[in-house]
A and B are shown apart, each in its own frame.
Chain A
Amino acid sequence: MTVTSVGAPRRPAPTLVILGLTALLILSMMAALGIGAVWVPPGAVVEVVARRLGLGSFDVTLVDDQIVWQLRLPRVLGAAAAGAGLAIVGVVLQSLTRNELADPYLLGVSSGASVGAVSVIVLGVGVAGLTGSVALTVGAFVGAMLALVVVLLLATDRTRSLPPARTILAGVAVGQVCAAYTSFVVLTDGDGDSARRVLSWTLGSVAGVRWSSAVLLLVVTVVGLVVVTAYARPLDAFAFGESAAGSLGVDVNRTRWTLMIITALLTACLVAYTGAIGFVGLVVPHAARMLVGVRHHRLLPVSALIGAGLLVWADTAARSLLQGQEIPVGVVTAGVGAPAFAYLLARSRGRA
């Protein structure tokens, strides 16, 4: 027999959760640095990182240094940043729209980005003389920005506010047009190879992340986290809807515009480098709420930590599960994350 609890759900102390998750994330990243086509033992991983950070002189092999510091670390950091970024964007958009199904791609950013990416991959559209992965990144970012502008123009009503329902519908409309363009171009102009590249870009991957892009992703995500955490209280105030938020002293319109644009910019940066990695931004906020409740000054950092850890492991699986072949990380996040979430959902049934 299921007993429905009416009392406060028993939750671990928030400070403990944050410390525990931070420790877990660091351990996960160390583990991820060792795992891959070539196994690097934990001791060697620690020595390579410590030596590079100037924490002492260690005897490390050139190969280990290359693999751990040059190849895997930027990727691991990129994955952590992308996971954290998507998770906090998910939290903010779910709270602002009061919609549990809101995810980072709500504002059409990902579909716009894929229009840009497809134009570069299939049509070979050059971006200011840039080529290859740089052109892809720039093309995706430009596409994301254009889609965002169209969505915001459509969503704005006469009073210049941004009603959530209109915003979601505008995002859907723009997303469908972008998807139609993407499919059309791939089917009419693409060969088999470019079709595959488009598909794997759409599913997302951090394979292309190098040091420069990893640093950029980290900076963008950390800045994003600090900024949205500064809005923790206004976000709390949205619990009972916008007029309730207004009566708690929140400038609803300004808060909504500011946060929508900040999160869209953050998402566009992430998507431009990693493609549209699904699932993280939708589900991590729910898992985090089950752990620490709905107050945003805890929910945001905890979501960031869970998202980071999830994507670090998902990427590790993506590059090591199949010999000689990368699985798009979006396939892993959905394939592993969805059952895990289904389990959490089933467990919380008693208090739903």
Chain B
Amino acid sequence: MRIVAEGLTWGVDGRVIVDGVDLVCEPGSFTGLLGPNGSGKTSLLTLLAGLRRPSDGVVLADGEDLHAWRPRERARRLGVVEQHAMTGLDLTVREVVELGRIPHRGRWPGATDEGAEAIAAALRVGRVKDLESRRWQTLSGGERQRTQLARALAQEPEVLLLDEPTNHLDLGHQIDFLRTVRGLGLTTVAALHDLEMAAAFCDRLVVLVSGRVVAAGRVDDVLTSELVRQVYSVDAEVGRHDGVDRLQVVWRS
């Protein structure tokens, strides 16, 4: 699905959080949202997910106004993974993944297809098949994120929106998670903090500062030492080093 945002604006208490954002995500592309804390990445994602109405501007999904869709329709086409999903309830991994079928189901049990195949596929692709009967409360951070990804996949979405999905994960699990997402080939927008991870897995980067897009484009064009200095006030050298085929960011101080 092609996602286009035009002049997207949203604020609260008279403070503008997202300020006239234009964005194009081609079908099957992986877009990384970068920017310092409080730059509006999460708010922009909730607008793209249709969970909030912009005060101005539109989100077009294959040319249609996303906010005019009914919530269930939206949930069948867009999957969201939050930064830190929490629950006090005693659910198994399978039960969490089954939540993803809610937008496909009717009001009464049994009346519609329960989506057994979609659940099986989501467990497999999200690589939580072995954890199926484990209890959510006993999972590690990496396992929880994979479970939430599998839940989003059970929705059979065309678009994935991820809010700092690798925030609490160690290096190995970060690579593992992003590689899985990348391999899905879905239109993906992810807010990320780690610049090298973003460089390694994204097709395009969009950089926000105070709710505005300050840079957008191909990874190599966006991620420069100039940008790192301007956005994060960090003096860094950005480049490719011998034998490593991706951008590295070496900061000095």
Residues of A within 8 A of B (CB): 4-9, 98, 100, 230, 232-234, 236-237, 239-241, 243-244, 246-251, 289, 293-295, 297, 351
Q: How many residues of B contact A (CB 8 A)?
A: 38
Q: Which residue of A lies closest to B51 (CB)?
A: A246
Tell whether, in the assembled complex, residue A98 and residue B155 are in contact, meaning their CB atoms are under 8 Å apart. Answer: no
Tell whether, in the assembled complex, residue B102 and residue A248 are in contact, meaning their CB atoms are under 8 Å apart. Answer: yes
Q: How far is the CB of B220 from chain A (nearest CB, A)?
A: 33
Which residue among A6, A234, A237, A240 has the maximum number of chain B CB atoms within 10 Å of its CB?
A240
Tell whether, in the assembled complex, residue A237 and residue B102 are in contact, meaning their CB atoms are under 8 Å apart. Answer: yes
Q: How far is the CB of A229 from chain B (nearest CB, A)?
A: 8
Chain A residues closer than 8 Å to B71, beta-carbon distance: 246, 249-251
Q: How far is the CB of B168 from chain A (nearest CB, A)?
A: 16
Contact pattern, B 76-115, Cβ under 8 Å of A = 1, otherwise 0? 1011101001111111101110011011010111000000
**In the complex, A234 Cα to B102 Cα: how many Å?**
8
B134 at interface by CB-CB < 8 Å: yes
Tell whether, in the assembled complex, residue B90 and residue A240 are in contact, meaning their CB atoms are under 8 Å apart. Answer: no
**In the complex, A289 Cα to B85 Cα: how many Å?**
21
- Closest 3 CB pairs between A and B? A249-B75, A249-B103, A247-B80
Tell whether, in the assembled complex, residue B138 and residue A295 are in contact, meaning their CB atoms are under 8 Å apart. Answer: no
Tell whether, in the assembled complex, residue A294 and residue B90 are in contact, meaning their CB atoms are under 8 Å apart. Answer: yes
Tell whether, in the assembled complex, residue B95 and residue A294 are in contact, meaning their CB atoms are under 8 Å apart. Answer: yes
B2 at interface by CB-CB < 8 Å: no
Q: Which residue of B lies closest to A100 (CB)?
A: B88
Tell whether, in the assembled complex, residue A7 and residue B76 are in contact, meaning their CB atoms are under 8 Å apart. Answer: no
Tell whether, in the assembled complex, residue B46 and residue A243 are in contact, meaning their CB atoms are under 8 Å apart. Answer: yes
CB<8 Å pairs between A and B, sample of 18: A7-B134, A8-B133, A9-B90, A234-B102, A239-B87, A239-B99, A240-B87, A241-B85, A243-B82, A247-B80, A249-B102, A249-B103, A250-B71, A289-B89, A293-B91, A293-B95, A294-B90, A351-B90
Chain B residues closer than 8 Å to A6, beta-carbon distance: 134-135, 138
B246 at interface by CB-CB < 8 Å: no
Tell whether, in the assembled complex, residue B86 and residue A7 are in contact, meaning their CB atoms are under 8 Å apart. Answer: no
B72 at interface by CB-CB < 8 Å: yes
Tell whether, in the assembled complex, residue A249 and residue B74 are in contact, meaning their CB atoms are under 8 Å apart. Answer: yes
Chain A residues closer than 8 Å to B213, beta-carbon distance: none
Q: How far is the CB of A208 from chain B (nearest CB, A)?
A: 37
Chain B residues closer than 8 Å to A7, beta-carbon distance: 133-135
Tell whether, in the assembled complex, residue B89 and residue A239 are in contact, meaning their CB atoms are under 8 Å apart. Answer: yes
Task: With A240-B85, A294-B95 given, name 16 new contacts (CB 8 A).
Answer: A4-B138, A5-B135, A6-B135, A8-B134, A98-B87, A243-B51, A247-B51, A247-B79, A249-B73, A249-B75, A249-B103, A250-B71, A251-B71, A289-B89, A293-B91, A293-B95
B59 at interface by CB-CB < 8 Å: no
Chain B residues closer than 8 Å to A239, beta-carbon distance: 87, 89, 91, 96, 99
**In the complex, A177 Cα to B107 Cα: how many Å?**
40
Q: How far is the CB of A157 from chain B (nearest CB, A)?
A: 12
With contact pairs A239-B89, A351-B90, A351-B135 given, residues A248 and B155 touching in the complex (Cβ less than 8 Å):
yes
**In the complex, A351 Cα to B91 Cα: how many Å?**
12
Chain B residues closer than 8 Å to A230, beta-carbon distance: 107-108
Q: Which residue of B lies closest to A348 (CB)?
A: B90
Tell whether, in the assembled complex, residue B134 and residue A247 are in contact, meaning their CB atoms are under 8 Å apart. Answer: no
Tell whether, in the assembled complex, residue A240 and residue B86 are in contact, meaning their CB atoms are under 8 Å apart. Answer: yes
Tell whether, in the assembled complex, residue B100 and residue A297 are in contact, meaning their CB atoms are under 8 Å apart. Answer: no
**In the complex, A237 Cα to B102 Cα: how many Å?**
7
**In the complex, A220 Cα to B145 Cα: how many Å?**
43
Chain B residues closer than 8 Å to A247, beta-carbon distance: 49, 51, 75, 78-80
Chain A residues closer than 8 Å to B135, beta-carbon distance: 5-9, 351
Q: Which residue of A lies closest to B132 (CB)?
A: A8
Chain B residues closer than 8 Å to A246, beta-carbon distance: 51, 71
Contact of A289 among B90, B92, B103 (CB under 8 A): B90
Q: How far is the CB of A192 from chain B (nearest CB, A)?
A: 45
Chain A residues closer than 8 Å to B103, beta-carbon distance: 248-249
Chain B residues closer than 8 Å to A233, beta-carbon distance: 102, 105, 107
Q: How far is the CB of B84 from chain A (nearest CB, A)?
A: 10
Chain B residues closer than 8 Å to A8, beta-carbon distance: 92, 94, 133-135
Chain B residues closer than 8 Å to A289, beta-carbon distance: 89-90
Chain A residues closer than 8 Å to B109, beta-carbon distance: 232, 297
Chain A residues closer than 8 Å to B79, beta-carbon distance: 247
Chain B residues closer than 8 Å to A234, beta-carbon distance: 102
Q: Which residue of A lies closest to B75 (CB)?
A: A249
Tell whether, in the assembled complex, residue A98 and residue B90 are in contact, meaning their CB atoms are under 8 Å apart. Answer: no
Chain B residues closer than 8 Å to A98, beta-carbon distance: 87-88
Q: Which residue of B lies closest to A5 (CB)?
A: B135
Contact pattern, B 18-49, Cβ under 8 Å of A = 1, otherwise 0? 00000000000000000000000000001001
**In the complex, A285 Cα to B64 Cα: how many Å?**
43
Which residue among A8, A237, A295 has the maximum number of chain B CB atoms within 10 Å of its CB?
A8
**In the complex, A307 Cα to B86 Cα: how many Å?**
29
Tell whether, in the assembled complex, residue B78 and residue A237 are in contact, meaning their CB atoms are under 8 Å apart. Answer: no
Q: How far is the CB of B97 from chain A (nearest CB, A)?
A: 12
Q: Which residue of A lies closest to B78 (CB)?
A: A247
